Amino acid sequence: MLSGARYSAALPCNDLKRAKRFYADRLGLVPADEHPDRLLYEGQRGTEYLLFESSGMAAGSHDEMRFSVADIDAEVRELKEAGVQFEESDRHRRHAPAITA
Same domain, 51 and 76: no
SS3 sequence, the chain? CCCCCCCEEEEEECCHHHHHHHHHHHHCCCCCEEECCEEEEECHHHCEEEEEECCCCCCCCCCCCCCCCCCHHHHHHHHHHCCCCCEEECCCCCCCCEEEC
Same domain, 12 and 46: yes
Q: How many domains does the chain have?
A: 2
Same domain, 47 and 20: yes
Q: What are phi and psi of 74, to 5 degrees?
A: -65, -40
| Residue 64 domain-assigned (yes or no) | no
Answer yes or no: are the C-beta atoms of 46 and 85 closer than 8 Å: no
Indicate which CATH number applies to the domain containing 14: 3.30.720.120
Which pLDDT tens digits describe the chain residue by residue (101 residues)? 345 656 678 888 889 999 999 999 988 899 999 999 999 999 888 888 889 898 866 565 545 666 667 787 888 888 888 888 877 665 544 444 555 55
Whole-structure pTM over 0.85, yes or no? no
Domain that holds residue 25: 7-56
| Residue 33 domain-assigned (yes or no) | yes
